[in-house]
Amino acid sequence: MRLGIVTMAALALAVASTVARAADPRYPDWPCTQAKVPEISLAAVWAGPPLDDVQSKWKDDAKVSALVSKLAARKTPLDEAEKSVKDFLAGSASDKTANAKLLFAGLFDTLNAQRSSVMSGLERVSHKQREAADKIREETLQLQALQGAKPPDETKVEALSNQLIWETRIFEDRRKVVRFVCEVPTTIDQRLFALGRVIQQEME
């Protein structure tokens, strides 16, 4: 039993030490290897006519608003979203440019908001991970001290060992989730770029 507990304590210390230091000091809680870009630049995804005259007006158009919700949802396959854009603009006739601008303005606002929400969530989890790592490190040292006592209190050793196993498992599960979610902002960027390109092509 003693060997298993010592091994577990070493593992807990190793896990606690895996909390990476932020690459960019401006964003200390940013956990992803990808650089943090707080929001998508309009110029990076839109080369069409200026959107100044539409801004939030897309919200006042029920048809556009409904379509924006569908297109922005990650559960909607991108090829299906692109087809929906083409079908919508094909039926717009003389209002095609106006509707295209409204549609992209809605997508830009909605996907930027989605992206910000995901990024904020990642930073909250990252902050919790740092706190969890500190706790695991501290409790591991406590466990090692208990193991070194003469004689050791086996009840306390086992209780703290079990607690560390549980906390380490939660830490590892969160780390896997973070690694997966770190890809989401990039996926949103790509979706907005792809849909923006289709909208601009349909305007020509």
In a domain, 45, yes or no: no
Q: Answer for the pair 202, 86: CB distance below 8 angstroms, yes or no.
A: yes
Collect all residues with Cβ–Cβ distance below 8 Å to 4 and sequence separation of at least 6: none
162/116 Cα distance (integer angstroms): 37
pLDDT for residue 149: 86
129/126 Cα distance (integer angstroms): 5
Rg (CA), the chain: 25
pTM above 0.95, yes or no: no
In a domain, 70, yes or no: yes
In a domain, 109, yes or no: yes
83/195 Cα distance (integer angstroms): 10
In a domain, 183, yes or no: yes
The domain containing residue 90 runs over which residues? 2-14+60-203
pLDDT for residue 21: 58
pLDDT for residue 22: 57
Mean per-residue pLDDT, 69-96: 90
In a domain, 21, yes or no: no
In this structure, what is the dihedral angle of CA atoms 175, 139, 4, 172, given to the nearest 10 degrees?
A: -10
Mean per-residue pLDDT, 56-81: 94
The answer to whether residue 11 scores a pLDDT higher than 80 is no
- Can you list the alpha helix ranges (DSSP code H) found in the chain? 2-16, 42-45, 62-72, 78-90, 96-148, 154-181, 184-203
The answer to whether residue 137 scores a pLDDT higher than 50 is yes
pLDDT for residue 2: 45
Mean per-residue pLDDT, 125-143: 91
User: Total domain count for the chain?
Assistant: 1
Collect all residues with Cβ–Cβ distance below 8 Å to 54 and sequence separation of at least 6: 98, 101, 102, 105
- Smallest CA-to-CA distance from 128 within 12, 22, 19, 36 is with 19
In a domain, 55, yes or no: no
The answer to whether residue 188 scores a pLDDT higher than 90 is yes
The answer to whether residue 1 scores a pLDDT higher than 50 is no
Mean per-residue pLDDT, 174-199: 94
In a domain, 134, yes or no: yes
pLDDT tens digits, 155-176: 999 999 999 999 999 999 999 9
In a domain, 132, yes or no: yes
pLDDT for residue 20: 52
186/175 Cα distance (integer angstroms): 18
DSSP 30: -
The answer to whether residue 5 scores a pLDDT higher than 80 is no
Q: Which amino acid is at 124?
A: R
